[in-house]
Amino acid sequence: MYLLEQFKMYINEENYRRLSEELKTRNATLVAVSKTKPVEAIKELYGLGHRDFGENYVQEMVEKQAQLPADIRWHFIGHLQSNKVKYIAPFVHLIHSIDSTKLLKEVGKQAQKTKRTIDVLLQVHIAKEETKFGFDESEVLTNIPEADAPDASVNVKGLMGMASFSDDLNLVRDEFKALKKLYDQCKQRTTINRGFRILSMGMSNDYRLALEEGSNMVRIGSLLFGSR
């Protein structure tokens, strides 16, 4: 009981309820970024009715999934190595970080093995920082038709991007605008026929800008669980 009380400091219920209402008015989904946070903290947010949780590390996600309720929708949001796809393929709800054709094909291979269709987002490199992963615009437009073939085991549901970590709000806004423009281009393509509808952009420090520029899925950690 003492440990459960101790972990309550990680959940900011006021922020959660405010965010939930704010996102509801915009028809946007909140993914609670629970990486490095204990199972007890996730249980507490689950108890408030939340079901979408995002993790960055495969081993941590697998361990948590085994200990938590089966109706949690697990989002993998970190950089994913091809040789680790098999560990999350049986249960992952959405992979946000498909950043290469090699990874896309491996997800399809593991989806077939588990007899699932795995939903994914193509990660687009929109930031000025070279440390971030992702396709460029031309690669996205090339890979979407391939991934969306009628018999594919991978269902491309949309795009994901991370803006530069910068105090320059105009820069961040411009990066979000560019991703929304690409998303709209992709959505207009006739090959997109299985629910291409997710634009995942925006985190704790820039989610309002992202929403203003068309995001319908945000990834929020510190506003809910506190700083790491």
Domain assignment present for residue 82? The answer is yes
Q: CATH number of the domain at 183, please.
A: 3.20.20.10
Domain assignment present for residue 228? The answer is no
- Residues 30-40 have pLDDT tens digits of 999 999 999 99
Q: Is 109 exposed, middle or buried (0-12, 13-18, 19+ CB in 10 A)?
A: middle
Residue 195, Ramachandran bin (φ over 0: left; ψ between -120 and 50: alpha; else beta): left
- Which residues partner with 52 through β-bridges? 73
Domain assignment present for residue 59? The answer is yes
Which residue bears the tokens 């629910």? 195
Domain assignment present for residue 107? The answer is yes
- Residues 133-143 have pLDDT tens digits of 789 888 887 76
pTM of the model: 0.90
Residue % of the chain over a pLDDT of 70: 86
CA distances from 204 to 32, 64, 210 (A): 10, 23, 10
- Residues 92-148 have pLDDT tens digits of 999 999 999 899 989 999 999 999 999 999 999 887 766 567 898 888 877 665 555
CA angle, corner 62, sides to 162 and 46, nearest 5? 75
Domain assignment present for residue 223? The answer is no
Q: Number of structural domains, the chain?
A: 1
Structural domain of 83: 2-218
Domain assignment present for residue 203? The answer is yes
